[in-house]
Chains A and B, each alone.
Chain A
């Protein structure tokens, strides 16, 4: 089996070699000459590869022709298939044997164009194209129509599936399925921990045995012992538990809470505190005749809201403590009263608070103590000790029906007596007026006892006659009294310059507008009367330094400055253009006073600087009437109370607290200088009024 190429090559080889006459060696392989490099036209190299097991044939054999024929017969098909022929009842060879063998078969998709199948297919294609073009044209037309505003063509006919189509009317509603999940509450659980040890078990058993034994004992002892023991146990338990269970009642906690409260307030109101201590209005240096008031803390509480501030009083012992009394000036609408004691260190809450049955009208501290006297609208007078939160020490008074006539307007106590007769809370004589009868009644009481007016009266006069210099007393005279003016008794000029009658005199302001000078020595008539105002007198205040002059304030918008010796005419008159609620003299100067008016303004005058215009007229509250004003005895601040229950503290600027400077070598004291200042003012005022001059001269002549 030689490849055709090989044969060709062999033949070629023999042809070339024959002329040389060399013996032919057909078996030998001669490798062809290597192609010269670069000879692109060289014949391709052909190699004859003979398999190893190729038959070695001789020449003769090679030349022998082997004929090969293609026949239609399958050489592997059986030629002798014999089958039993039933008809002939014998085995017979099959004449025809299947000669076809299928080696590979594949169905084709090709169709003859002329065949029926092909024709059908061509028809179908045509129909499909027609339908598509028709639908397209319909759609185009509908688009055009929609542009024209017409409805879309109904193409539902084509979309219907005839095999899976049911009319809408025949359908029932099928709601789509939705998942819905909820969580149930897990059962409540609890966690415990612990450990179990042998000694733990032992202890538990011992405890249980003990308990059993006690129970047995109780049973054996019987009912009575049982109850006793139980009570004892109960007491023991209570004794043991009270302390840890009620820390709120621990007094130490109260103190700690108090300190904490103070600290919180200090942090909250730090700026105000700094202003109180260090701020001075710089503009005072530029404008010497004007001053200003700087609002500091505001004191108010829920209980005090809508009540009128009827009384303000500084504690003489602690300069940062003051009491505020709440009540009502409207005597037809009286409600319960309230006393709040505040400290400047704690503006948010009162340190103490008392409620009273009737409105509070007046408050007064005993000097050097924490005892507070309080006079109520119904004429009651009571004293509280602020050291203990106890009920009032003493309470006395007529307990009359609520009536303006019985109202206790003013309160003044002198306290030497209080000091000397100390045992068990005898407070010094207070004076109070009631219009119980046409004649006056005078009250002064040891605690918890009410003296007959006459008896008491004599008692007090006895005091007055014997040792008292400072005892004060009360007195009523016909008309309803609204104010009580009392001369300050301390000071260099008290007592010594004045005659005995004056020492025992007091001044009373009335609702009718007049001021009466009365004596506590006898009550039948006034010493003299001042036709001061045309409306009710709201306040009568004596100068703190100059003991000859006092101020009266009234609802008729006027404040008048009086010389005690000249009842006919005031020295000076100031018009405030609104009802004046209260006035107060400054403790540091004889010429400075402040007044509050119903329009919410505070006016501060310094007569030495300006007799006509206030140094300062400042509105401090909105939509409220100011009812009370009071100077702090030490610090340059004033308190102002209004009829909404709020107390405002104000700082006086330097111009409002000018004091004369003592030159080195000067003999006069500060008080004498102040006295001289006011004397000068009065002198100038009198000189402008010739009548007053004459009167004064006459009075001087009389006195001499």
Chain B
């Protein structure tokens, strides 16, 4: 509504956007707060650790989540994907990390 004139949110290029969007944005979750914090920590660490290897990244997230909250957890990490999933209620987390990568984490 206020972004019509002198819009500070208009970015010149993608890098400008990425500089602002460094934080993690929670798109969808119904976890309780403790679980959410922990799961987000795991996800962020894994994504930052394996920038170029999605497979290892997902493996790490899944293993840690399985260990901490009991299996079976499923993870999707990627820049673009479609999904239709069935999850156990109170066990989903969908976050955007660093403006580029999204992590979808659920238990079923």
Interface residues of A (CB under 8 A from B): 187-198, 201-202, 204-206, 208-210, 213-214
Q: List 22 A-B contacts (CB under 8 A).
A: A190-B87, A191-B86, A191-B87, A192-B83, A193-B84, A194-B83, A195-B80, A195-B81, A195-B83, A196-B78, A196-B80, A196-B81, A197-B80, A198-B79, A198-B100, A201-B96, A209-B20, A209-B21, A210-B9, A213-B2, A213-B8, A213-B9
- B67 at interface (Cβ–Cβ under 8 A)? no
Of the residues B3, B17, B85, B102, contact of A196 by C-beta under 8 Å: B102
Residues of chain B lying within 8 A (CB to CB) of residue A214? 2
Residues of chain B lying within 8 A (CB to CB) of residue A189? 86-89, 108
Bound: A90/B52 CA distance, A: 95
The smallest beta-carbon distance between B1 and chain A, in angstroms, is 8
Bound: A181/B7 CA distance, A: 65
Is there contact, CB below 8 Å, between A190 and B79?
no
The smallest beta-carbon distance between A240 and chain B, in angstroms, is 13
Is there contact, CB below 8 Å, between B21 and A205?
yes
Bound: A190/B106 CA distance, A: 11
Is there contact, CB below 8 Å, between B21 and A196?
no
- B45 at interface (Cβ–Cβ under 8 A)? no
Is there contact, CB below 8 Å, between B87 and A202?
no
The smallest beta-carbon distance between A118 and chain B, in angstroms, is 77
Question: In the complex, how many residues of chain B place their beta carbon closer than 8 angstroms to a beta carbon of chain A?
Answer: 29
Is there contact, CB below 8 Å, between B20 and A196?
no
Closest A-chain residue to B91, C-beta based? A187
Of the residues A192, A208, A213, contact of B84 by C-beta under 8 Å: A192
Contact with A along B7-29 (1 / 0, CB 8 A): 01100000001001100010110
Interface residues of B (CB under 8 A from A): 2-3, 8-9, 17, 20-21, 25, 27-28, 78-89, 92, 96, 99-100, 102, 104, 108
Residues of chain B lying within 8 A (CB to CB) of residue A202? 17, 99
Residues of chain B lying within 8 A (CB to CB) of residue A196? 78-83, 102, 104
Interface centre among A189, A195, A197, A213 (most CB of B within 10 A): A189
A189-B88, A201-B100 given; A208·B25 CB < 8 A: yes
The smallest beta-carbon distance between B103 and chain A, in angstroms, is 10
Summed over the interface, the residue pairs from A and B with CB atoms below 8 Å come to a total of: 73
Residues of chain A lying within 8 A (CB to CB) of residue B83? 192-196
Bound: A189/B90 CA distance, A: 9
Bound: A190/B79 CA distance, A: 24
The smallest beta-carbon distance between B19 and chain A, in angstroms, is 12
Bound: A54/B20 CA distance, A: 113
The smallest beta-carbon distance between B9 and chain A, in angstroms, is 6
Give 6 nearest A-B pairs by CB, closest first: A193-B84, A195-B82, A205-B21, A188-B89, A191-B86, A196-B102
Is there contact, CB below 8 Å, between B88 and A187?
yes
Is there contact, CB below 8 Å, between A201 and B85?
no
Bound: A187/B91 CA distance, A: 11
Is there contact, CB below 8 Å, between A205 and B2?
no
Of the residues A190, A198, A206, contact of B80 by C-beta under 8 Å: A198
Closest A-chain residue to B107, C-beta based? A187
Is there contact, CB below 8 Å, between B25 and A205?
yes
Is there contact, CB below 8 Å, between B20 and A201?
no
> What 10 additional pairs, Cβ within 8 angstroms, besides A193-B85, A205-B21, A209-B20?
A187-B88, A192-B83, A192-B85, A192-B92, A196-B78, A198-B79, A201-B99, A204-B27, A205-B17, A210-B3
Is there contact, CB below 8 Å, between B89 and A187?
yes
Residues of chain A lying within 8 A (CB to CB) of residue B82? 193-196
Bound: A201/B28 CA distance, A: 13
Closest A-chain residue to B88, C-beta based? A187
Is there contact, CB below 8 Å, between A209 and B9?
yes
The smallest beta-carbon distance between B85 and chain A, in angstroms, is 6
Residues of chain B lying within 8 A (CB to CB) of residue A188? 88-89
The smallest beta-carbon distance between A55 and chain B, in angstroms, is 88
The smallest beta-carbon distance between A300 and chain B, in angstroms, is 51
Closest A-chain residue to B79, C-beta based? A198
Residues of chain B lying within 8 A (CB to CB) of residue A209? 9, 20-21
Closest B-chain residue to A190, C-beta based? B89
Bound: A210/B8 CA distance, A: 10
Bound: A206/B81 CA distance, A: 20
Residues of chain B lying within 8 A (CB to CB) of residue A190? 86-87, 89, 92
Residues of chain A lying within 8 A (CB to CB) of residue B99? 201-202, 205
Residues of chain A lying within 8 A (CB to CB) of residue B9? 206, 209-210, 213
Closest B-chain residue to A199, C-beta based? B80
Bound: A195/B83 CA distance, A: 6
Is there contact, CB below 8 Å, between B80 and A192?
no
Residues of chain A lying within 8 A (CB to CB) of residue B102? 196, 201
Bound: A205/B82 CA distance, A: 19
Closest A-chain residue to B97, C-beta based? A201
Bound: A661/B90 CA distance, A: 88
Residues of chain A lying within 8 A (CB to CB) of residue B86? 189-191
A198-B80, A204-B25, A214-B2 given; A192·B87 CB < 8 A: yes
Residues of chain A lying within 8 A (CB to CB) of residue B100? 198, 201
